[in-house]
Structure 1
Amino acid sequence: MTLGACKNDSTSTNNNSSNNASSQVSSDSVKLESDSVATENTASNNTAIGTVKDFAISLEEAMAIYQKEVPNTDITGIGIDSSFGNYYYEVNGMDDNTEYELKIDVNSGEVKEKRDEKLDRDEQNGVKRNEDKLDLTNLKALKDITEVAINQAGGGEATDWSLDKELSITYWEIKVKNGNQEHEVKINAQTGEVLESELDD
C-alpha cells in the first residue's frame, strides 16, 4: 500500500512537470510569435508608402502630340502640374528662331493651349535651340522616377513634375507632399539616380 502511494505521487509529480514544461514551451512559442509579428510590423512601418498618379496619356504620347503639332522642333522642357484640379502636360520646344509651348490634357490628349514667341536675335539660328534641347533617349519610365522621389521623401504623393536640363544632364524635379512637408527631389532622367533632395517646411 505504501509503495502504491509512492508510485502515485511519482506519477503525479511527473505529470505536473510535464504540464509545466508544456506550458513553458507554449508560452515561449506565443512569445516568439508575438515578437515575430512585432518585427514584421516594424519593418512594414519603415517601408515608404506613397501614391503614384496614373495618367491616361503617357509622357511618350504627350511628346508625340507635341511633335505632330509642331514638327521639326526640339523639346526643351516638360512640366506636369495641375490647374483647378486638372493635370496638364506643358511641353516647351523650339526651332532655330521660335519658341513654342503646348498645354495638353493628361486624360484626353486634347491640346488646350498653343503659344509661340520669336527668340531674341542673339538666340536665333539654332543657338538657343542647341543649348536647351533635352536628351530624351533612354528615359526611365515616369512611374519609376516618381516612385524614387516618393521613397526619397519617405512617402507621400507627387504633385508636380518638371523635366529640365543642367549642363549635359537631363533630370526630373519632382515635388512630393508628405503630410505638412513638401520635398523637392531631382533625379537623373536616364539613370534614376537622386541628384538632390530638399525639404521645404
Structure 2
Amino acid sequence: MNAYKDINLTPSEALQVFKDQYPETTVKEVELELKAQAYVYKVEGYDDEKEYKIYIDPNSGEIQETKEKRAKRVEKEITQEHTDKIQTIVDKALKDGNGTLYEWSLELEDGRAELTVKTDLENGQHANYKYDLDTGELLKKK
C-alpha cells in the first residue's frame, strides 16, 4: 500500500489534469480514495452534454481510467481555491483523531463545498469528519 505522506500530486494538480483533459467542463467532485491498497484521485465534471470521470495516479499524475455518460445539471463548481484548502483540513482531521487517512471527498452540497475525511484510528476504529471547506468549520463527526 502506498502511504498518504508519499503522494506527489496535490489536489490542485489533480484538478488541473482533469481541466487539461476536459477544458470546457465544470468540476463537481474531487476525491482521493483508497482502491486495491493504493490511493487514486477521482475527479468528476460535466458540460452541457456529458459527465466525465477520470482516475489519476497520485504519484505520476497519469490518467488511469476515464468514463463518460449523459450529463445532469449542477449549479456550482469546484475551483482551485477549494482544492488548495484540502490539505490543511485533512491534516486537521488526522491530528484530531491521531489516525491515518483512508480517503477524502470534496463535493458540492446545496451550493456549499463540503470535505469529508475518512480515517482509520490506531485502536482499529474509524472516524468520519465533514467540514465546510470555505469556513473550515467541522459540520459533523462520527
Same fold (TM over 0.5): yes
Deviation at 1:70, TM superposition (A): 0.9
Q: Deviations over 1:121-168 (max 9, x none)?
A: xx4xxxx132xx434263353321112212333x11111110011112
Higher percent of residues as helix = 1
Q: Which runs of 4+ in 1 moved over 4 A?
A: none
Matched, 1:176 2:127: no
Matched, 1:129 2:74: yes
Query: Structure with the greater relative contact order (CA < 8 A, sep ≥ 6): 1 or 2?
Result: 2
Specify every segment of 5 or more residues in structure 1 that has no aligned partner in the other structure, as ranges.
1-50
The correspondence of residues 141-160 of structure 1 with structure 2, limited to 5 A, is: 141-153=85-97, 155-160=98-103
Deviation at 1:54, TM superposition (A): 4.3
Aligned to 1:191: 135
Aligned to 1:162: 105
Aligned to 2:62: 110
Instruction: Supply the AA of the counterpart residue of 2:88.
Output: D
Aligned to 2:42: 90
Identity of aligned residues (%): 26
Deviation at 1:52, TM superposition (A): 6.0
What is the rounded CA distance, in whole Å, between the counterparts of 1:146 and 1:188 in structure 2? 12
Specify every segment of 5 or more residues in structure 2 that has no aligned partner in the other structure, as ranges.
none
Q: Is 1:52–1:147's contact at 8 Å kept on the other side of the alignment? A: no
Judged with a 3 Å threshold, the aligned counterparts in structure 2 of structure 1 residues 147 and 88 are, in CA distance, closer, same or farther, namely: same
Give the number of the structure whose alpha-carbon radius of gyration is greater: 1
TM-score by length of 2: 0.88
Q: Is 2:29–2:78's contact at 8 Å kept on the other side of the alignment? A: no
Deviation at 1:192, TM superposition (A): 1.7
